[in-house]
Amino acid sequence: MEITRSSIDTAKGPGTWFTGDVYIDAIAAAPAPARMQANLVHFTPGARTAWHTHPLGQTIYVTEGIGLCQRRGGPVEVIRAGDRVFFAPDEDHWHGATPSRFMVHLALNEVDDDHPAADWGAKVTDEEYAAAPAATTEGSTRWNFDRSVAPAPRSASCASGP
Interacting residues with Mn ion (CB under 5 A): 58
- Identity of the residue, 74 or 153, whose beta carbon is nearer to Mn ion in the bound complex: 74
User: Least Å distance between CB 52 and Mn ion?
Assistant: 6
- Identity of the residue, 21 or 92, whose beta carbon is nearer to Mn ion in the bound complex: 92
- Give dist(CA 84, CA 97) in Å, integer: 15
Identify whether the C-beta of residue 52 lies closer than 8 Å to the C-beta of residue 107. Answer: no
- Identity of the residue, 128 or 140, whose beta carbon is nearer to Mn ion in the bound complex: 128
User: Least Å distance between CB 128 and Mn ion?
Assistant: 15
- H or E element that contains 119: strand 119-120
- Give dist(CA 79, CA 105) in Å, integer: 10
- Which residue is nearest to Mn ion, using beta carbons? 58
- Give dist(CA 159, CA 162) in Å, integer: 9
- Identity of the residue, 59 or 140, whose beta carbon is nearer to Mn ion in the bound complex: 59
User: Least Å distance between CB 4 and Mn ion?
Assistant: 24
| 3-state SS, residue 160 | helix
User: Least Å distance between CB 148 and Mn ion?
Assistant: 38
